[in-house]
A and B are shown apart, each in its own frame.
Chain A
Amino acid sequence: MLNNKRHYLLVTIIVLLSLVTAACGSSNSGGNGNKNNSSGKETAAPSATAEPKQEENKAEGGKVEGGSVVVSIPQDLDYLDPHLAVAAGTQEVLFNVFEGLLKPNEKGELYPAIAESYEVSPDGRVYTFKLRSGVKFHNGNAVTAEDVKFSYDRLAGTATGKPLSPAFNSVESIEAPDASTVIIKLKENNTSFLTSLTAAVIPNGYEDSNKNPIGTGPFKFKEYLPGQRISVEKFADYYVKGVPVLDKVEFRIITDPEASLLALKSGEVDIYPRIGTEKLEELGDDFQAVSAPQNLVQLVTFNIDRKPFNDIKVRQAINYAVNVDEIIAGVALGKGTKLGSNLSPVLAKYYQEGLEDTYATDIEKAKSLLAEAGFKDGFETTLSVPSNYQFHVDTAQVIAQQLGKIGVKVKIEPVEWAVWLERIYKGRDYDLTIIGLDGKLDPYQILNKYLSDSPNNFFNYKSTEFDSTLQSAVAEVDDAKRVALYKKAQTILAQDAAAVYIMDPNLNVAINKKLAGYKQYPLYVQDLSTVYFTN
């Protein structure tokens, strides 16, 4: 294998960090090394950009060093151990404490973090990483290749045979030939694997992560009071100079949205992510508001195994009858991006444009399609909706009313979240349901739910064309071809009317006016490293 190395088409991604010193202040205009050094052909590696420089200065006043910020989060963490944590709500907090070889930025692109550069073999099966020098764990030890090997072996379950993370299923071996080199070999080509390498690197042999997590991120863990809060503080030895600015961040668990709003208003909380649009409007000009698509796909899914949804005409009819614009206006108060397939335009590179008009509202057409399918007088069906998400419950009410116009009588069945997950998502026992599917950085990890044999294919969608398209997309090393295949996969979903794709609702964040530098990610992430106070 090593001999083959020189045959590799080398793609070295050189990262130019913008060095921001405290002295630079807000007037920094340091080199934004956004240089994509793709020497030669396109490869499987997503284009890596240099880490974004510290800008985004929205407030006027000058930058203040230090300070302490409280962020309200709606739920408790499942684990502190980053390899065990699955809940999105946990990931968004731990993002500040842990880093992987790679790290996503606010555009959803990957850039090297603990790694400095990497190469991918032409067959896409061997990844070679050069580690960045000077990266330290929160306990003061320098990060070595052994730490990376230990961490990713743990995730891949090399020793136990049971991978902690399904994304690491395809790992064949992880080697650390020297202190600053890591080589990962895959069983098969998998272009979506790279995004898995954002997984946390922890110290070699460290087993106490769930009590006292140690990572390499901009903040180090300080204290966790279950059900109440998790506090992190500035990691002074972070390898990016001038980051983080804040001394301390507390994530306070406030489950009630009304209570979060009040805490924000009273100044107890500085940042309130995922605030409802209604509440955001109510705040007016007293707070900064950030509102942007969040890479979430809200959709109505059909149980395609069940009559009448096994008939594509019925699914198309329903697509024609649902007026997405009305839902966006009424439920999201206009703050949502219309979708046509299961991918948000946030992933601009892979997003197939134009699909959102595949089924422009047309009641007459919907009726005639229903008649063709043998349901001239419509039919009755049940729309199950997770009752804890008012957003989906509201959407369900609008949709029930819209489908009434083509004679489809919809009974709304609110189900508890626990029941939704068990009966509908895992058990696939439903007619119609509404849900928001979390976005990932890689389109494969979003679209693979539709694969015929996916355990999470709760649509019961089966299409050999889609399967082969998506499988060849993930194995395709050529960037342009891969993008085209992903776009085709989206088109297939839209044409098959696999679901009613509604919108990517905006994620709203309300922020104390004294703060600046907040960046919103197309991921479930709260990045506090760039946030600072102004005077």
Chain B
Amino acid sequence: MNYFVRRLLTLLLTVFFVVTLTFAAFRIIPGNPALTILGTEASDEQIALLEAKLGINRPLPEQFIDWLRGAAALDFGQSLRFSEPVLKLIGDRFPVTISLALLALTITIAVAVPLGIAAARSKGKAADMMISIGTQLGLAIPSFWMGIALILVFGLVLRWFSVSTYVPWSENPYLALKSLLLPAIALAVPQIAIVVRYLRTTLLEQLNLDYVRTARSKGLKDHSVLFRHVLRNALLPVITVVGINFGELLAGSLVVEQVFTLPGFGSLLITAIGNRDYPLVQGMILLIAFIVVAVNFVVDLSYRILDPKIRMK
């Protein structure tokens, strides 16, 4: 238990560190949000007036403490540019990004597990080679280019998908799924490659272990050995890989969103940075940092609980 408390503290400290750095970094770099909002024709008085209204003319420590105090009560302040609570803006955009990441995750598992098993079972044969070549390609394709290619083929040539029109889940789940499918595929491809390679390796390791040999020698059929024993043991590390890569998936979706012009986190983050919308940037970074850290923690936790060997240490 001591270990987890320590780990949790380190993780929370990491989040705090990230947020503090973000705050400091964005105040140091040039750019004045009031100027960005008002443009070229504003007088100095008008700029000063807006700065006062936004509260960005106060001393930095005061602003930071204010922000921390608010954040502790889950109030992340108002966006400077959109004059809306940060939490609401995030609430509007985050579902797009998270559902894209989750859909990509689902596709990854649905495709990678059968492929990984097939590769392990046909080790050294033509099928294994094909899958191996496929995974190498999958790892090498930039997901945003994959996205562009998918738009080109399915959107513009075949016209199966109306490209870049996002429909919220609440409006029409079918169309929502349809609008997220291509980006999710683009996002999933490198992940599939990673999981297939990993699963294949762990499966092959397991197949060489004693208990499998024993089971086989007892005359158990290959596939029943595979599904009863081997797969169960092989999936554990796979889940870990998937968990750890969830952060990558989330970050990758920021880029893929831009390709498909989905109204997600990516475009909001980039505009917020460009506008020097401090509260919005801080809120978003905090959320991302928190998710990444939390996922890492849960993966760590589950790994230790599920795998007795590590627990004993």
Contacts and interface: CB of A to CB of B under 8 A. Distances in A.
Contacts of B37: 78, 87
Given A78-B37, A418-B30, A437-B40, A388 B83 contact: no
A30 interface: no
Contact of A78 (B32, B38, B162, B274): B38
B33 A418 contact: yes
Interface string A249-292: 00000011011001100100000000000000000000000000
A425 interface: yes
Given A226-B82, A258-B164, A418 B40 contact: no
A388 B32 contact: no
B271 interface: yes
A227 B89 contact: yes
Contact of B271 (A255, A258, A421): A255
A421 B44 CA distance: 13
Interface in B50-87: 50, 79, 81-84
A426 B267 contact: no
Interface in A400-432: 416-419, 421-423, 425-426
Nearest to A449: B40
B43 A417 contact: no
A421 B35 contact: yes
A422 B31 contact: yes
Contacts of A258: 164, 261
A334 interface: no
Contacts of B163: 262
B35 A86 contact: no
Interface stretch (A122-130, A158-166, A340-348, A349-357): A158-166
A456 interface: yes
B36 A86 contact: no
A498 to B, nearest CB: 17
Contact of B36 (A163, A166, A418): A418
Contacts of A419: 29-31
A164 B46 contact: yes
Contact of A417 (B46, B79, B83, B274): B274
B132 interface: no
A88 B263 contact: no
A255 B81 CA distance: 12
Nearest to A456: B40
Given A86-B41, A164-B46, A266-B165, A421 B36 contact: yes
A76 interface: yes
A76 B81 contact: yes
A438 B162 contact: no
Interface in B278-298: none
Contacts of A456: 40
A455 interface: yes
Contact of B35 (A227, A266, A422): A422
Contacts of B29: 419
B39 to A, nearest CB: 5
B143 interface: no
A259 B164 CA distance: 7
Given A226-B84, A416-B31, A438 B40 contact: yes
Interface string A423-447: 1011000000001011000000000
Contacts of A437: 40
Name the prevailing secondary structure of the A interface residues.
Answer: loop
Contacts of A388: 274
Nearest to B42: A86
Contacts of A163: 45
B276 interface: yes
Given A266-B162, A418-B30, A227 B82 contact: yes
B275 interface: yes
B201 to A, nearest CB: 41
Contact of B83 (A76, A255, A435): A76
A313 B92 CA distance: 55
Contacts of A166: 43, 45-46
Nearest to A388: B274
Contact of B30 (A78, A266, A422, A435): A422
A164 B50 CA distance: 11
A423 B46 CA distance: 18
A386 to B, nearest CB: 10
A417 B36 contact: yes
Given A266-B165, A425-B40, A86 B46 contact: yes
Interface string A70-111: 000000101000001011100000000000000000000000
A373 B257 CA distance: 51
Contacts of A227: 79, 82, 84, 89, 92
Interface in B1-58: 29-33, 35-46, 49-50
Interface in A154-211: 162-166
A229 to B, nearest CB: 12
A15 B280 CA distance: 50
Quick one: which of B30, B163, B275 has the most chain A CB within 10 A? Answer: B30
Contacts of B41: 86, 88, 438
Interface string B154-168: 000000001111000
Contact of B40 (A226, A262, A421): A421
Nearest to A169: B43
B30 A87 contact: no
A416 B164 contact: no
Contacts of B261: 256, 258-259, 262
Contacts of A88: 39, 41
A335 B81 CA distance: 32
A84 B37 CA distance: 12
A418 B44 contact: no
B31 A87 contact: no
A255 B267 contact: yes
A510 B40 CA distance: 27
Given A86-B42, A456-B40, A418 B165 contact: no
A455 B43 CA distance: 8
Contacts of B46: 84, 86, 164, 166
Quick one: which of B31, B44, B275 has the most chain A CB within 10 A? Answer: B31
Given A76-B83, A226-B83, A256 B267 contact: yes
Interface of A: 76, 78, 84, 86-88, 162-166, 226-227, 255-256, 258-259, 262-263, 266, 388, 416-419, 421-423, 425-426, 435, 437-438, 455-456
5 contacts: A78-B38, A86-B41, A164-B45, A423-B30, A438-B40
Given A84-B46, A87-B38, 5 more contacts: A76-B81, A165-B43, A421-B39, A422-B31, A425-B35
Interface of B: 29-33, 35-46, 49-50, 79, 81-84, 89, 92, 162-165, 261, 263, 267, 271, 274-276
Q: Which 9 A-B pairs have the closest CB atoms?
A: A418-B31, A227-B82, A421-B35, A166-B43, A226-B84, A86-B38, A418-B36, A258-B261, A418-B276
